[in-house]
Amino acid sequence: MYVIALLGNFTIPYIVMTEPRLHEPMYYFLCMLAATDLVLVTSILPKTLSIFWFNSREIEFNACLIQMFFIKSFFMTESGLFVAMAQRPYCKTNIIPHTHCEHTAVLNLACADVHIGNYYGLFVVFFVTGLDVVFIILSYFQILRTIFKLPTKDARLKTFGTCGTHLGAILAFYIPRLFSSLASRFGENMPLYFHILSANMYLLLPPTLNPIIYGVKIKQIRDRLFHLVTHCGGNVFSWCCGSQAELKADRVPGPLP
């Protein structure tokens, strides 16, 4: 999934930059989304893979804070969270039962009462996410009103397809995040591996699915990708055939003197 996320989120900006017809605000937004997804997924996956591949189970405290900063700032701009946490003393064990510096896992290491920090984090999740969802619902209400005013059925179906693409990306973004936040605070009876898996999936799933959703559904990106694949494939084929032909020519004996 990490390889797919990297390839997909590098491919979309490259396609947009190399295709003049895609130099429009909609496609710039996709580039920004891809850049955000790359930072999100790269902030956790290399360290996660090193845990399982190289048994590298330690992380410096400063590196832990940097990782948390990238996760929070690029996912929800929760810089205020670090201000609330910077007054808390850490005198317990330095072992985090997680694959990355997840907020609740680090907060629970503090020696002080962490209820306020937990409630603050939960408030930020619901306030920021909830406010975004309200505006998304209002926007789609206006979009649906406009769709039903379109004169032809084909135009309505085409617009519905575009809206379905956006809704799929929105659901892949919000649902895992909300589920992970609730599970980390109220799922005391859930097994530890379930908390770890859910916290990784909400950061890994959107960067993996977004290039697939937009790459498959948006015709301009799909056509450009097909052109790149066929063009590069043709060049490789020509190079291989040319190399074989040259090799055979070298092996053919020339005329006898």
Q: Could you name the CATH architecture of 2-217?
A: Up-down Bundle (1.20)
Q: How far apart are CA 87 and CA 113, in angstroms?
A: 12
Structural tokens at position 159: 């617009």
A 10 A CB-CB count for 236 gives 10
Query: How many Å from the N-terminal Cα to the C-terminal Cα in the chain?
Result: 62
Q: Please, what sign has the CA dihedral across residues 131, 136, 142, 144?
A: negative
Can you give the pTM of this predicted structure?
0.62
Spans of all domains in the chain = 2-217, 220-257
Q: What is the pLDDT of residue 80?
A: 43
| Cα–Cα dist 80/71, whole Å | 13
Give the type of residue at 80. G
From the list 206, 203, 169, 212, the residue with the least C-alpha distance to 42 is 203
Dist CA 99 CA 110 (whole Å): 18
Per-residue pLDDT of the chain (257 residues), as tens digits, is 899 999 998 998 999 888 888 888 778 877 877 888 888 888 888 888 999 999 988 888 888 888 888 887 777 643 443 444 457 666 767 788 888 777 777 777 777 777 777 777 778 777 877 787 888 888 888 888 888 888 888 878 877 777 777 777 778 878 887 788 778 777 778 888 888 888 888 788 888 888 887 777 777 788 888 888 887 665 654 545 554 544 444 444 544 44
Written as one letter, the residue type at 181 is S
pLDDT at 54: 92
Are 199 and 180 in contact by the 8 Å Cβ rule? The answer is yes
Decide: 5 and 208 in contact? Cβ < 8 Å. Answer: yes
Strand ranges inside 122-215, DSSP E: none
Q: What are phi and psi of 99, to 5 degrees?
A: -95, -15
Q: Both tokens of residue 143?
A: 């979009």
